[in-house]
Chains A and B, each alone.
Chain A
Amino acid sequence: MSAFLARRLLIGLVTVIVASIVVFAVLEIVPGDPALLMLGMNATPEALATLRSQMGLDQPIPVRYLSWIGGMLMGDFGRSWTYSSPVIDLIVERGIVSLPLAVISLILSTAIAIPVGIFAASRRGRAADAISMGATQVGVAIPNFWFALLLVYVFAVWLRLLPAGGFPGWGAGIWPAFKALIMPAIALALPQAAILARVTRSAMLEVLGEDYIRTARAKGIPRRKVLWRHALRNAMIPVLTILGLQFAFLLAGTIIIENVFYLPGLGRLVFQAITQRDLIVVEGVVMLLVASVVIVNLVVDILYAVVDPRLRVKA
């Protein structure tokens, strides 16, 4: 187990380092002068030069890369050029919106998808299977921003039950903040749930066809117990894989939903930072996301080993 963990950790570390070089290099190549962007069309050349040196842009590229990496290792992500506040503060400010949103969506989608998948698998070929799989097909096909707008028109414009968007901040109280996250979470969760339900169903079907299930049933174990205890556990590997991928997506890939609900999340922070060429913020957030994807994968790998003891030996 520890050799398994050590190898996974090493792979993760190499991934992070390679990613840091790629991220830094790509952002160097992207056209656009951050200082010019900040000062606009009427900037005088000397004002531009002053700002560039304040931003450290007059230093050679390797020096900037090393000071960036060195700073991050010491926990210093640098200071945003446009916001002129520490990058880490920006990430925390946005993270307290994105992380709860991702967690709520993930819980919601899992809570919907797994029962639906099991239910459909257990009634394979019957009407209930056809209806639930038809519904998930629709769920996969509907773009989430469209679904989000639909929710907004029904619950905000028409019924006026929920705010159309925005985020009051956790300081405004748990309930108002939570209320602002309900619709985005549903809009994010449903398409994810649809995919997850389909994966759960097919994984369950595969397992249900195995000999040991027949044996278990023949032993007289109740159907329900066989489904939840024997089949589900063995069907968890593909489900966990998809869950891991979905969580990584939910952390940063929610830019469209964040725009529809004008939520100040991480996705929008990166997007804004890219358009404003606030490279230091882009680099910081992307590295954090790379790290969290690596960590999520590591956790998923460990969970594989937990649900399937055979994997511990193989690794």
Chain B
Amino acid sequence: MTLVKSVLAATALALVTTTSVFAQRTDLVLGVVLEPPHLDPTAGAAAAIDEIVYANVFEGLTRIGPSGEVLPALAERWDISEDGKVYTFHLRQNVKFHDGTTFDAEDAKFSLDRARAADSTNAQKGLFAAIDTVEVVEPLVLKVTLKNPQGSFLYNMGWGDAVMVAPESAATNAEKPVGTGPFKFENWARGASITIVKNPDYWGEPVALEKAEFRVIPDAAAAVPALLSGDVQAFPMAPVGEVLDQFKSDPRFEVVVGVTEGETILTMNNGKEPFNNLKVRQAISHAINRDEVIVGNGMGGLGTPIGSHFSPANAAYVDHTGTYPYDPEKAKALLAEAGYPDGFTATLKLPPPPYAREGGQVVASQLRQVGIDLEIVPVEWADWLSTVFKEKDYDLTIISHTEPNDIDIYSRPDYYIGYQNPEFNKVIEELGLTADEAKRNELYAKAQEILAKDAPVGFLFELPKIGVWDANLEGMWHNMPVQANDLTKVKWKQ
């Protein structure tokens, strides 16, 4: 009898404990497709690094918010001199790195100098190119002098590549990241998962989650059962493709389709016949039916059509999808005018992501309609970077440019697209010198229009961010203005 009673009591106790734990759930398992090679965002281009550490473990002087806006981070406020060349950052007090050392202007100077040093392997060294000198004025005041005014400087300082690191731990951040963020790195089971835990000594608003685990699930077929079984409660970039509808109709899950900064384009080799001919590029633009490409893009038919190299989520966005509407007859006429009445043949190199491999099939069949015969060549990512991007050995390719606000790539000398237009370069140059928001938007509009008309590439669609997570989860980012999974506002509903 006593035995039965105690068993019952134990069961009841167990039930009570389970329920109370459930009510204040503070742990989270997120799925990520790619494992980061290491965890130092200042020493590699892999988006997978920022997707774990940005805003969670590391913070910069400024940061990018959920809508792509620049917000104060470790710099509480800043003054900009009249000529736009001197930035004085006032740093926050009582900020500590996870190893207990204090963050001050010396650390900030160290971080910036390290990133722009001659032997630096920062993947976005260009962000720091305008910096002339960095000085410590007071323990918490940092003065950065630029060589010339740069409109995007505060935005640049918000990138993951510009986060603040400590001299004591910078060398070992790759394996054991030490930042100032609301989460501390706890464990990395290589190939399996990365765990971060709440930082009790955080300077700002404490996070609701005690523990977050990023579990590496590279296979789409595995991602679906991982979510369904509850092993993983959130997939910020869910590789679920055609199965998306199953999650949409399941009340246990929330499906959020947002935008990224990924302009997906059919790049034409402008430095090569026949793509150096504007009429040919116009013909190709007219031959593309964006809606059909989106339906077949391997991402559940989601994505926003674009007509220039700009994110529709950005305030300065102008819709140019009507510049060269789908019109196969006109495409044929333009080809004939350009001297290709019977069309031509070319290769289409496709990197591994589904938007390229599957979307590429649709693009190839559309171009075949107007007489352009494409030979599809699937390439690995490493191969794409070497042969297409570096050696410019290609005719056509499909790729998503995921860096935020990267319209300036068309002005880069010797870039793989091979587009050259002094008028466009002048706009970008002016943009670099302009800090005024309204003036900047005007210049952005001008740049978008030039590109839309010149059609250096076939503009396809903005890559969607397909997030699937437990319906009880709050505070996940809907869009992806920077490559990040910011968990600072994430919590379970009570």
Contacts and interface: CB of A to CB of B under 8 A. Distances in A.
Contacts of A38: 37, 44-46, 123
Contacts of A156: 225, 229, 231
B189 A264 contact: yes
Contact of A149 (B38, B46, B225): B225
A275 B221 CA distance: 20
Nearest to B175: A85
A41 B385 contact: yes
Contacts of A262: 192, 215-219, 222, 226
B37 A166 contact: no
Interface stretch (B55-63, B113-121, B300-308, B451-459): B113-121
A157 B218 contact: no
Interface stretch (A15-23, A44-52, A300-308): A44-52
Given A259-B219, A262-B218, A82 B37 contact: yes
B121 A259 contact: no
B125 A163 contact: no
B191 interface: yes
A254 to B, nearest CB: 13
B37 A165 contact: no
A83 interface: yes
Given A166-B192, A264-B190, A277-B382, A43 B125 contact: yes
Given A32-B380, A169-B189, A164 B390 contact: no
Interface in B285-343: none
Nearest to A43: B123
A275 B126 contact: no
Contact of A259 (B123, B126, B222): B222
Interface residues of B, number: 46
Nearest to B215: A166
B216 to A, nearest CB: 6
Contacts of B229: 152, 156-157, 160, 163-164
Interface string A251-268: 000000001111111001
B425 interface: no
Nearest to A146: B221
A177 B481 CA distance: 38
Contacts of A276: 37, 382
B76 interface: no
A243 B38 CA distance: 38
A275 B380 contact: yes
A173 to B, nearest CB: 14
A93 interface: yes
Nearest to B38: A84
Contacts of B202: none
Contacts of B37: 38, 82-83, 276, 278
B403 A42 contact: yes
B27 interface: no
A278 B46 CA distance: 14
Given A156-B225, A269-B191, A39 B219 contact: no
A94 interface: yes
A37 B382 contact: yes
A31 B191 contact: no
A22 to B, nearest CB: 20
Interface in B97-140: 118-126
Contacts of B45: 38-43
A277 B228 CA distance: 34
Interface in B18-44: 35, 37-38, 44
Contacts of A54: 121
A167 interface: yes
Interface string B44-55: 111000000000
B365 interface: no
A164 B225 contact: yes
Candidate in A41, A51, A90, A149 with the most chain B CB atoms within 10 angstroms = A41
A36 interface: yes
A163 B385 CA distance: 37
B231 A31 contact: no
A65 interface: no
B192 A33 contact: no
B125 A44 contact: yes
Given A83-B37, A84-B38, A47 B231 contact: no
A153 interface: yes
Interface in A65-115: 82-85, 90, 93-94
A93 B403 CA distance: 34
B231 A163 contact: yes
A233 to B, nearest CB: 42
A272 interface: yes
Interface in B371-399: 380-383, 385-387, 389-390
B222 A47 contact: no
Contacts of A83: 37-38, 190
Contact of B121 (A32, A34, A50, A260): A50
Contacts of B389: 36, 41
B120 A259 contact: no
Nearest to B384: A32
B118 A264 contact: no
B381 A275 contact: yes
B221 A46 contact: no
Given A42-B403, A166-B231, A152 B191 contact: no
B390 A33 contact: yes
Contacts of A278: 37
A91 to B, nearest CB: 11
A85 B172 CA distance: 11
Contact of A33 (B123, B215, B230, B382): B382
Contacts of B118: 46, 50
A164 B226 CA distance: 6
A100 B259 CA distance: 43
B248 to A, nearest CB: 18
A278 to B, nearest CB: 8
Contacts of A43: 45, 123, 125
A42 B383 contact: no
B174 interface: yes
Interface in A262-313: 262-265, 268-269, 272, 275-278
Interface in A89-145: 90, 93-94, 145
Interface in B173-221: 174-175, 189-193, 215-219, 221
A95 to B, nearest CB: 12
Contacts of B228: 157, 164
Nearest to A278: B37
Given A33-B385, A42-B126, A268 B222 contact: no
A85 B382 CA distance: 21
A51 B121 contact: yes
B466 to A, nearest CB: 19
The 3 A-B pairs with the shortest beta carbon distances in the complex, nearest first, are A40-B45, A264-B191, A32-B382
6 contacts: A37-B382, A83-B37, A156-B229, A164-B229, A262-B216, A275-B380
